[in-house]
């Protein structure tokens, strides 16, 4: 397998690389920022790409935020972006449920294990839901709950989908309810299955870990609608009309971002070393997922 | 493979089966009771076995209760039992940590993801711990927590073990802390890895599901100290001096109880159909785990 090209400090190589593409898909966490820390020269790089006529799409697996929430985060960090340039796994899941799964109402209700970002995107597609940020579920499970979940009196007969995402308020009660719906035959979807979440220069449990109790309990994986699921790539291609040959995926994580680009048969993939994976994971023989090129950090594209 | 013998209604078969053994190891949930519902004739069966000189051991993977808690549950349901006859996965884990792992103090502290049963058994073996039922961890994670976990200021440098069990108060904060300890190199143990918990005639997420986020996030399994781990069988044999050839494991779950007995080379295994698995799971060809005999419910042993 070809070794990835190292572009940091290689002015000519950078020029040549950028010239190959009309569109850049960016992962956000670990690429543009880590938590609330903006990486150096990120606005400049995006500005430079825009000035050269490139289409930018911000593709994120972070399901806690809606596209509108993401826009606020971009504004706060001083990164110029439009709501329509943001494509999140919550939005991807909402589109899948409303347009592809198309369950007949009223049996199309979704039980959400996740935060308000998922709720906002479901609302944008007019998909009814329960759970999510419902304050009545943010408490300890009681003996009465066990009985009411077991006999179904606490469950909503219209729930046909369990959608699992990153939930900072996960608890046993919500897991027990979600598991009961799955046992009753609900479809099992996940916004994404990232095992970890880069934050504050460290790693925390990701959406895939938060939803892991459901996978373990029911004994099967969820259908994931985030990277590297190609359902998300198809939706991006449909919405932004990008030419895959002339599109580059930029990310920090090999098994989501880079794999997403490779499986999507994009013209290129670029890894940054400011997130989950490092050079050691891509250099040498026998590495399972390798980008076309890599830089130490996104700002290095300024040359 | 030999088909299991059906003993319900077979008076002679029951006599012959019971005569073969000096000791009976009983799983509890799904065998003696379900939640707070005692199955019919359970006290009578235990009394009958005792009267015939059989050693009884109650082997449970439920890590939320200590042996003393279990004794209370037996008393409440009217089942005659002694504390010393109870052998739980929490006790098994405590013994493993104190006597086999034997980390040098003060680096032998345990971060507990679980309830007071685990804490009580760790105390009985003088193992220091943090986490568990600590009320200061029963809350939402804050931005300050992310920072303090990331920079280590919220972590205890003496923690050398993460012990994961069934925690009805699991939350993101505790998962994030446990994951941080694992990333720092803590040993990863689990009281047990049952995916589900039978309760109120239904199923809820079990200890293996509650701990699944840690497995997913760190990318490796915990060492389990409950059934079917043979570490537990070795401890039972050591404590009760049972002759494995003359010992029978009684349980409702094939992949924990029955497998535990088969792998432990016990003289016999008996399945009851009042819990997780049913006849369909053991009859016919190609079933991976099959008991020597089965009854519809434990009370059927009264003939």
Alpha carbons A140 and A174: distance in angstroms, whole number: 10
Number of alpha carbons in the 13 Å side-chain half-sphere of residue A238: 10
pLDDT (mean) for A274-297: 94
Q: Which chain A residues contact residue B151 at CB under 8 A?
A: 200, 202
pLDDT in tens, A183-237: 999 999 999 998 999 888 899 999 999 999 999 999 999 999 999 999 899 889 8
**CATH number for the segment(s) A5-61+228-302:** 3.40.50.1000
pLDDT (mean) for B131-151: 97
Identify whether the C-beta of residue A46 lies closer than 8 Å to the C-beta of residue A79: yes
Give the domain A104-224 fold.
Answer: Rossmann fold (3.40.50)
User: Scanning every residue of chain B, which has its alpha carbon at the shortest distance from the alpha carbon of A193?
Assistant: B216
Nearest to B300 by CA among B10, B81, B33, B55: B10
Alpha carbons A207 and B111: distance in angstroms, whole number: 23
CA distance B267 to chain A (A): 31
b/e A207-246 (16+ beta carbons within 10 angstroms → b):
bbbbbbbbbbbbeeebebbbbbbebbbebbbeebebeeee
What count of other Cβ atoms lies within 10 Å of the Cβ of residue A157? 10
pLDDT (mean) for B128-154: 97
Question: What tokens does A281 get?
Answer: 């994971």
Please tell me the predicted confidence (pLDDT) of residue A36.
84
Q: Which chain B residues contact residue A176 at CB under 8 A?
A: 204-205
Q: Tell me the three state secondary structure of residue B71.
A: helix
Alpha carbons B133 and B127: distance in angstroms, whole number: 16
CA distance A211 to chain B (A): 7
b/e A74-94 (16+ beta carbons within 10 angstroms → b):
beebebebeeebbbbbbbbbb
Do B104-224 and B5-61+228-302 fall under one CATH topology?
Answer: yes
CA distance B185 to chain A (A): 14
- Residues 6+ away with beta carbon under 8 Å from A106: A128, A158
Is A7 part of the contact surface with chain B (CB cutoff 8 Å)? no
pLDDT in tens, A135-151: 999 999 999 999 999 99
Residue of B33, B142, B171, B204 best to disrupt the A interface, most CBs of A under 10 A: B204
Is B246 part of the contact surface with chain A (CB cutoff 8 Å)? no
Q: Is the Cβ pair A212, B208 closer than 8 Å?
A: no
- Return the domain boundaries, chain B: 5-61+228-302, 104-224
Question: What is the sign, positive or negative, of the torsion defined by CA atoms of A44, A46, A49, A52?
Answer: negative
Please tell me the predicted confidence (pLDDT) of residue A35.
79
Please tell me the predicted confidence (pLDDT) of residue A238.
80
Q: Is the Cβ pair B150, A199 closer than 8 Å?
A: yes
Nearest to A111 by CA among A184, A168, A60: A184
Alpha carbons A250 and A275: distance in angstroms, whole number: 12
CA distance A272 to chain B (A): 21
Q: Is the Cβ pair B213, A201 closer than 8 Å?
A: no
pLDDT in tens, A56-82: 999 988 888 889 989 999 999 999 899
Give the residue ranges of DSSP H helices in B81-187: 89-95, 116-124, 143-150, 172-183
pLDDT (mean) for B269-281: 95
Is B283 part of the contact surface with chain A (CB cutoff 8 Å)? no
CA distance B175 to chain A (A): 7
Is B188 part of the contact surface with chain A (CB cutoff 8 Å)? no
User: Average per-residue pLDDT in chain B?
Assistant: 94
User: Scanning every residue of chain B, which has its alpha carbon at the shortest distance from the alpha carbon of A215?
Assistant: B209
Q: Which chain A residues contact residue B195 at CB under 8 A?
A: 216-217, 219
Q: Is residue A1 predicted with pLDDT exceeding 60?
A: no
Question: What tokens does A170 get?
Answer: 């996960």
Q: Is the Cβ pair B172, A210 closer than 8 Å?
A: yes
Please tell me the predicted confidence (pLDDT) of residue B201.
84
Q: Is residue A16 predicted with pLDDT exceeding 80?
A: yes
Residues of A (29-58) whose Cβ lies below 8 Å from B: 35
pLDDT in tens, B62-90: 888 889 989 999 999 999 899 999 999 99
pLDDT (mean) for A108-116: 97
ipTM: 0.84
Is A176 part of the contact surface with chain B (CB cutoff 8 Å)? yes
Alpha carbons A270 and A263: distance in angstroms, whole number: 14
Q: Is the Cβ pair A202, B167 closer than 8 Å?
A: no
Q: Is residue B200 predicted with pLDDT exceeding 90?
A: no
Q: How would residue B1 be classed by pLDDT, with cut points 50, 70 and 90?
A: low
User: Average per-residue pLDDT in chain A?
Assistant: 94
Q: Is the Cβ pair B210, A213 closer than 8 Å?
A: yes
Q: Is residue B35 predicted with pLDDT exceeding 90?
A: no
Question: What tokens does B13 get?
Answer: 């078969």
Q: Which chain B residues contact residue A206 at CB under 8 A?
A: 217
Please tell me the predicted confidence (pLDDT) of residue B303.
80
Is A276 part of the contact surface with chain B (CB cutoff 8 Å)? no
Q: How would residue B100 be classed by pLDDT, with cut points 50, 70 and 90?
A: confident
Query: Which residue bears the tokens 């004739």?
Result: B41
Please tell me the predicted confidence (pLDDT) of residue A239.
81
Residue of B202, B211, B214 best to disrupt the A interface, most CBs of A under 10 A: B202
User: Is A75 tagged catalytic?
Assistant: no
pLDDT (mean) for B248-259: 95
Adjacent-strand bridge partners of A86: A58
Is B214 part of the contact surface with chain A (CB cutoff 8 Å)? yes
pLDDT (mean) for A10-14: 97
Nearest beta carbon to residue A172 from set B168, B202, B203:
B168
Is A142 part of the contact surface with chain B (CB cutoff 8 Å)? no
Q: Is the Cβ pair B215, A212 closer than 8 Å?
A: yes
Q: Is residue B146 predicted with pLDDT exceeding 70?
A: yes
């Amino acid at each position: 397998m070809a070794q990835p090209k190292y572009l940091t400090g290689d002015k000519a190589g950078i020029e040549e690389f950028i010239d190959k593409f009309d569109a850049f898909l960016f992962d956000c966490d670990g690429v543009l920022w880590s938590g609330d820390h903006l990486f150096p020269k990120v606005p400049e790089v995006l500005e430079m790409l825009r000035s050269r006529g490139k289409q930018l799409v911000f593709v994120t697996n972070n399901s806690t935020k809606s596209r509108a929430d993401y826009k606020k985060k971009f504004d706060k960090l001083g990164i110029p972006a439009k709501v329509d340039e943001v494509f999140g796994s919550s939005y991807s899941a909402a589109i899948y449920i409303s347009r592809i799964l198309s369950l007949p109402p009223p049996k199309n209700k979704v039980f959400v294990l996740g935060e308000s970002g998922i709720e906002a995107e479901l609302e944008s597609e007019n998909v009814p839901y329960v759970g999510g940020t419902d304050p009545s579920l943010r408490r300890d499970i009681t003996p009465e709950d066990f009985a009411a979940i077991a006999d179904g009196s606490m469950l909503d007969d219209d729930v046909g989908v369990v959608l699992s995402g990153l939930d900072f308020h996960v608890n046993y009660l919500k897991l027990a309810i979600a598991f009961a719906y799955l046992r009753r035959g609900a479809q099992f979807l996940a916004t994404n299955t990232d095992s970890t979440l880069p934050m504050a220069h460290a790693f925390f449990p990701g959406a895939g870990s938060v939803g892991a109790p459901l996978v373990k309990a029911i004994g099967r994986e969820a259908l994931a609608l985030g990277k590297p699921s190609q359902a998300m790539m198809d939706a991006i291609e449909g919405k932004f009309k990008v030419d895959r040959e002339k599109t580059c995926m930029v990310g920090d994580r090999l098994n989501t971002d880079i794999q997403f680009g490779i499986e999507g048969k994009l013209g290129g993939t670029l890894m940054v070393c400011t997130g989950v994976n490092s050079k050691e994971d891509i250099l040498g023989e026998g590495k399972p997922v390798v980008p076309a090129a890599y830089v130490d950090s996104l700002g290095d594209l300024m040359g």
